[in-house]
Amino acid sequence: MSETMKAYIEEAERDLLHTYNRYPVVLDRGEGVYLYDTDGKKYLDFVSGIAVFALGYGNREYNDALKAQIDKVIHTSNYYYNVPAVEAARKLKKVSGMDRVFFTNSGAEAVEGALKAARKYAYRKDGSTDHEIIAMNHSFHGRTFGALSVTGNAKYREAFEPMIGHVRFAELNEIDSVREQLTDRTCAIILETVQGEGGLRPAEEGFLRWLREICDERDILLILDEIQCGMGRTGYYYAWQKYGVKPDIMTTAKALGCGVPVGAFLMTEKTAGNSLEAGDHGTTYGGNPLACAAVEKVLDLFEKDHIIENVRKVGPYLEKSLEELKERHHGITERRGTGLMQGLVFDRPVREIIDRAMERGLILINAGPQIIRFVPPLVITKENVDEMISILDACLESGEPSRE
């Protein structure tokens, strides 16, 4: 590592709040599925900024669209209409099949909005303020208080208690466990269609169908958090579309703007008409013209560049390649996930493996201490998968615990 890079890292450690154990690299620029550090070293990227940069780096059309919008106007506030927001909302409705959109600046804010909408929906029915939300263990919904309150990982929540309250946790894919938490106060059930941070676990079709039925029966809102698994990652624009189990409220972010901070929560017309009203919710930046120009262009490029088709082609290949890798290395106990959202579960902490991969020019990320997560740009090719596997193979061979 050069002295220059070392100096940047030291300064960052002095100046930035220490809330991350960062990997010792200063990333400088990107090209396609490769990133370069400030020393010019090249890395194959299987993280895409945590499932964000779906289109690959340096996409000319995307960059030009942003530059053009910057020259027009970046921000106007939500008290006026703007064309990119109208265009982005129309396109997002089309790919999601949802009816109404509220743009946010992040995933966590999309979850906050969804939770507020659910409480308001129940409040408008009976005027009471003791409604409950059911969330899943091992879920992840973000770091703000509302989102944290429905995140099923006590370690993230503990020091910040009390949470918003009236949240009950159940087990993903266990109908009885949800049934035990249901009361006449339940106003919403929130889950990730495919759990990300919590371990790359997809919700099963039967479980989703049962949730939809119970929600319809009791007029409870089904909230699907598609922030990580949405935007094509599973081979569908939104993962629930595979089963046709449509939520009442859906959250999206991460790849939605491909790096420009933007998220959204979307609702069906019925939910929208019976929940948030004028004055109930707002944001200064949310859905500003720059962010919406990004969303608009990302959705155009998804169609034009056949992104979903690519995921359907390369996703199964990645899955198969990871299964084969698992057979070759006894430390890998399980493969999980779907499409280009995959995880390998190890019998030991994976930080060291990820460090070694970085030395060999491969960027990977964990999901919890013992899982390596694979969330590459959605433009990844089979050749890129082969390249990743051969680097990872070498890392695992050099790090295999010796059997004396």
Ligand X SMILES: *Cc1c(COP(=O)(O)O)cnc(C)c1O
Choose which of 37, 112, 132, 192 interacts with ligand X (CB under 6 A): 192
Question: Between residue 107 and residue 126, which ones bind ligand X under the rule CB under 6 A?
Answer: 107-108, 111
Choose which of 45, 112, 225, 319 interacts with ligand X (CB under 6 A): 225
> Taking CB under 6 A as the rule, does residue 201 contact ligand X?
no
- In the shown chain, the binding pattern of residues 135 to 174 toward ligand X, with x for contact by CB under 6 A and - for none, equals -----xxx--------------------------------
How many angstroms separate the CA atoms of 292 and 73, rounded? 12
Give the residue with the Cβ less far from ligand X, 225 or 319: 225
Minimum gap (Å) between residue 127 Cβ and ligand X = 30
What are the structure tokens assigned to 322, written together? 């990871």
Residue among 195, 235, 184, 193 at smallest CA distance from 211? 193
Are the C-beta atoms of residues 172 and 136 closer than 8 Å to each other?
Answer: yes
Length of the chain: 404
Minimum gap (Å) between residue 209 Cβ and ligand X = 21
Question: Between residue 270 and residue 329, which ones bind ligand X under the rule CB under 6 A?
Answer: none
Q: Site size for ligand X, by CB under 6 A?
A: 15
- In the shown chain, the binding pattern of residues 4 to 33 toward ligand X, with x for contact by CB under 6 A and - for none, equals ------------------------------
Minimum gap (Å) between residue 128 Cβ and ligand X = 28
Contact residues for 172 (Cβ-Cβ < 8 A; gap 6+): 136, 137, 138, 139, 191, 195, 201, 203, 207
Give the residue with the Cβ less far from ligand X, 192 or 319: 192
Q: Which residue is nearest to ligand X (CB)?
A: 107
How many angstroms separate the CA atoms of 231 and 216, rounded? 26
First to last CA, the chain: 35
> Taking CB under 6 A as the rule, does residue 106 contact ligand X?
yes
Choose which of 196, 257, 339, 343 interacts with ligand X (CB under 6 A): 196
Choose which of 227, 262, 340, 353 interacts with ligand X (CB under 6 A): 227
Q: At 187, give phi and psi (nearest 5°).
A: -110, -20
How many angstroms separate the CA atoms of 98 and 337, rounded? 25
Minimum gap (Å) between residue 261 Cβ and ligand X = 8
How many angstroms separate the CA atoms of 274 and 254, rounded? 28
| 40 φψ region: left (φ > 0), alpha (ψ -120 to 50), beta (else) | left
Minimum gap (Å) between residue 254 Cβ and ligand X = 6
Choose which of 59, 186, 228, 234 interacts with ligand X (CB under 6 A): 228
Contact residues for 253 (Cβ-Cβ < 8 A; gap 6+): 104, 106, 107, 110, 227, 262, 263, 264
Question: Is the previous residue joined to 377 through a cis bond, with omega within 30 degrees of 0?
Answer: no
The three-state (H, E, C) secondary structure of 341-358, written as one string: EEEEEECCCCHHHHHHHH
Give the residue with the Cβ less far from ligand X, 146 or 356: 146
The helix/strand/coil state of 158 is helix
Minimum gap (Å) between residue 47 Cβ and ligand X = 13
CA 24 to centroid of chain Cα atoms: 24
Piece in contact with ligand X (CB under 6 A), picked from 22-30, 84-92, 174-182, 220-228 = 220-228
Minimum gap (Å) between residue 144 Cβ and ligand X = 7
Minimum gap (Å) between residue 104 Cβ and ligand X = 9
Q: Which residues would be at the binding site for ligand X (CB under 6 A)?
A: 106-108, 111, 140-142, 192, 196-197, 225, 227-228, 253-254
